[in-house]
């Protein structure tokens, strides 16, 4: 609802009297790379100015465990709190919800000189469904528009009527290369995961899930993972249980791989935190489909320390037909695990160097939101994964290159600093 003239006057007085700050508006802080990224950025900016963070979905403060409670604004209080702060910079993740558009419009009315930033964390194939006159007006008012990579920038630019140029800034996201490193962060947790999933081979065959795993059996070679000769091959995929991740296609690929490798292969489905009823419903569908296929994959649920599972993963798989970045694939590469993925979005332009750090599959549907893989696509995945599993030396070499690329090009610290510097210079916040 638009503010009255009296309310505008009071808000302006409060804005002039209080300390400058930055406001970050994010759909959710609990799932997705964007939520993790905004937590890191808010922490960095907090060393330069006051920071408020508001999320639409989830119990805001509870899920943002890295953030101080004083930073987190409950979503129901956001309109009131936001209009009492002298924001030098307001940052919002696109696509904007209607109530976010309303809030930004009210903020601009109170503080017409505030610097406005818009972050794109979705690809053009998804964004196109949300571009209307109201959101376009906010985009045109933005002082900076962030994109992950140049292809993302160009594809979204093509959607802007009249070819109008936006103030783009391209900054690649990153991952925590310290936490996500070869060998994991906790040898006991690595051991426990290996026991839980029955990874190691014994004299009588493969250990049953839950069997004790001797520490000596998990001594790390230079690759950061146990040698292939005494354990199962391990293939994994991780992410929210949402249809656009193509979990059902992943399970079909796992069925083919299990038919080839039998008990020598363990396939894992690491389903991350769920965003809402839609994800929870699809998780049930994934479980039923897995059972109908003869349970080719073990569904683990959310693993907060999954870097310790990556310590013995041989190949990471990503079957989505739309990914702006794909944080989980980048985390796997940072752990020295080669990735087999669709050649779309950030997977193609940021994460995987085809033939060096992993292998890409061109999906028949192209880069399309929520598209399924074809039988030919799944066959291409099967062949690439099977070839990597059979070539131990080549797989290790590819994993070493993957770790090097993560260190050089996908370090979250560099990404966050670049974001913070760009915002600070533009809005006059901090040094």
**Local confidence band at 174 (pLDDT 50, 70, 90 cut-offs):** very high
Question: CA angle, corner 150, sides to 148 and 154, nearest 5?
Answer: 110
Mean pLDDT rounded to a whole number for the chain: 84
> How does pLDDT run across 161-171, given as a tens digit for each residue?
988 899 999 99
**Local confidence band at 202 (pLDDT 50, 70, 90 cut-offs):** low
pLDDT at position 35 is: 75
Per-residue pLDDT, averaged over 83-97, amounts to 84
338 phi and psi angles, rounded to 5 deg: -65, 150
Q: How far apart are CA 177 and CA 115, in angstroms?
A: 32
Q: How far apart are CA 323 and CA 367, in angstroms?
A: 9
Per-residue pLDDT, averaged over 19-30, amounts to 76
Residues 6+ apart with CB under 8 A from 35: 26, 27, 28, 29, 55
Is residue 397 pLDDT above 60, yes or no?
yes
Q: How far apart are CA 393 and CA 161, in angstroms?
A: 51
With both helix axes pointing from N to C terminus, report the angle between 247-261 and 375-390 in degrees, rounded to the nearest 10.
50
Q: Calculate the CA 264 to chain-centre distance.
A: 30
- Which tops the pLDDT comparison, 139 or 66? 139
Q: Which residue has the tokens 């979005």?
A: 345
- If phi over 0 gives left and psi between -120 and 50 gives alpha, with beta otherwise, what is residue 104? alpha
| Structural domain boundaries in the chain | 5-174+413-427, 187-410
398-403-409-413 Cα dihedral, nearest 10 degrees: 170
With both helix axes pointing from N to C terminus, report the angle between 133-141 and 98-110 in degrees, rounded to the nearest 10.
40
**Local confidence band at 276 (pLDDT 50, 70, 90 cut-offs):** low
Is residue 331 pLDDT above 60, yes or no?
yes
Which H helix or E strand runs over 85? none
Q: How far apart are CA 126 and CA 322, in angstroms?
A: 8
Q: Which residue has the tokens 């964007």?
A: 34
Fold of 5-174+413-427: Rossmann fold (3.40.50)
Is the separation of the CB atoms in 344 and 320 below 8 Å? Answer: yes
**Local confidence band at 410 (pLDDT 50, 70, 90 cut-offs):** very high
- Which tops the pLDDT comparison, 229 or 283? 283
Output DSSP code: residue 31: S
Is the separation of the CB atoms in 255 and 334 below 8 Å? Answer: no
> How does pLDDT run across 98-109, given as a tens digit for each residue?
888 888 888 888
Indicate the length of the chain as a whole number: 431
Is residue 88 pLDDT above 60, yes or no?
yes
Fold of 187-410: Rossmann fold (3.40.50)
Per-residue pLDDT, averaged over 313-326, amounts to 95
pLDDT at position 110 is: 82
Percent of the chain with pLDDT over 70: 79
Is residue 222 pLDDT above 50, yes or no?
no
Q: What does the block give as tokens for 343?
A: 């050649």
Is residue 224 pLDDT above 80, yes or no?
no
Is residue 262 pLDDT above 60, yes or no?
yes
The 3-state DSSP class for residue 165 equals coil
pLDDT at position 206 is: 44
Is the separation of the CB atoms in 398 and 375 below 8 Å? Answer: no
pLDDT at position 91 is: 92
pLDDT at position 148 is: 95
Is residue 5 pLDDT above 90, yes or no?
no
For the ranges 38-52, 191-205, 337-351, the maximum mean pLDDT occurs at 337-351
pLDDT at position 329 is: 97
- Which tops the pLDDT comparison, 332 or 205? 332
**Local confidence band at 11 (pLDDT 50, 70, 90 cut-offs):** low
Percent of the chain with pLDDT over 90: 56
pLDDT at position 72 is: 74
Is the separation of the CB atoms in 194 and 232 below 8 Å? Answer: no
14-18-21-27 Cα dihedral, nearest 10 degrees: -40
> How does pLDDT run across 42-77, given as a tens digit for each residue?
888 888 888 888 765 544 333 444 666 667 776 666
Q: How far apart are CA 386 and CA 268, in angstroms?
A: 15
Is residue 3 pLDDT above 60, yes or no?
no
For the ranges 98-112, 141-155, 362-376, the maximum mean pLDDT occurs at 141-155
pLDDT at position 350 is: 94
Is residue 28 pLDDT above 80, yes or no?
no
**Local confidence band at 274 (pLDDT 50, 70, 90 cut-offs):** low
The 3-state DSSP class for residue 95 equals coil
Q: Find out whether the peptide bond into 97 is cis, omega within 30 degrees of 0.
A: no
Is the separation of the CB atoms in 255 and 294 below 8 Å? Answer: yes
pLDDT at position 188 is: 95
pLDDT at position 233 is: 95
**Local confidence band at 231 (pLDDT 50, 70, 90 cut-offs):** confident
Is residue 217 pLDDT above 50, yes or no?
no
Is residue 305 pLDDT above 70, yes or no?
yes
Question: CA angle, corner 100, sides to 94 and 105, nearest 5?
Answer: 105
187-410 has the same fold as 5-174+413-427: yes
* DSSP-assigned letters across all residues of 376-428: HHHHHHHHHHHHHHH-HHHHHHHHHHHHHHHHHH-BHHHHHHHHHHHHHHHHT
Output DSSP code: residue 3: P
Q: What does the block give as tokens for 110?
A: 């109170």
The 3-state DSSP class for residue 299 equals strand
């Amino acid at each position: 609802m638009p503010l009255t003239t009296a309310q505008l006057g009071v808000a302006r007085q409060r804005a002039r009297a209080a300390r400058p700050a930055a406001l970050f508006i994010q759909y959710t802080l609990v799932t997705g790379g964007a939520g993790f990224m905004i937590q890191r950025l808010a922490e960095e900016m907090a060393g330069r100015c006051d920071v408020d963070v508001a999320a639409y979905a989830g119990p805001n403060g509870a899920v943002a465990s890295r953030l101080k409670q004083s930073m987190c604004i409950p979503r129901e209080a956001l309109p009131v709190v936001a209009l009492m702060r002298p924001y030098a910079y307001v940052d919002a993740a696109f696509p904007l919800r209607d109530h976010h558009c309303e809030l930004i419009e009210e903020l601009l009315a109170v503080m017409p000189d505030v610097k406005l930033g818009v972050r794109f964390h979705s690809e053009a194939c998804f964004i196109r469904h949300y571009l209307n006159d109201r959101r376009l007006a906010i985009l045109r008012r933005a002082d900076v528009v962030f994109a992950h990579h140049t292809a993302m920038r160009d594809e979204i630019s093509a959607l802007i009527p009249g070819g109008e140029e936006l103030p783009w800034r391209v900054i690649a996201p990153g991952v925590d290369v310290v936490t996500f490193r070869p060998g994991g962060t906790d040898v006991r947790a690595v051991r426990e995961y290996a026991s839980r999933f029955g990874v190691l081979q014994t004299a009588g065959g493969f250990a049953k899930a839950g069997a004790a795993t001797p520490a000596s059996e998990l001594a790390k070679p230079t690759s950061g993972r146990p040698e292939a000769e005494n354990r199962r091959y391990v293939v994994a995929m991780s992410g929210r249980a949402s249809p656009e991740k193509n979990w059902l296609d992943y399970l079909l690929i796992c069925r083919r791989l299990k038919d080839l490798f039998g008990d020598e292969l363990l396939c894992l489905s690491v389903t991350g935190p769920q965003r809402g009823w839609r994800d929870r419903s699809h998780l049930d569908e994934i479980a039923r489909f897995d059972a109908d296929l003869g349970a080719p994959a073990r569904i683990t649920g959310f693993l907060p320390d999954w870097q310790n599972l990556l310590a013995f993963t041989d190949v990471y798989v990503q079957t989505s037909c739309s990914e702006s970045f794909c944080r989980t694939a980048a985390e796997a590469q940072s752990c020295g695990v080669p990735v087999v993925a669709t050649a779309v979005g950030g997977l193609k332009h940021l994460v995987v160097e085809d033939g060096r750090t992993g292998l890409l599959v061109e999906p028949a549907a192209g880069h399309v939101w929520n598209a399924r893989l074809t039988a030919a696509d799944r066959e291409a995945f099967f062949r690439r994964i099977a070839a990597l599993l059979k070539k131990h030396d080549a797989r290790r070499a590819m994993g070493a290159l993957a770790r090097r690329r993560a260190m050089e090009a996908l370090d979250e610290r560099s990404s966050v600093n670049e974001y913070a510097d760009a915002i600070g210079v533009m809005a006059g916040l901090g040094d």
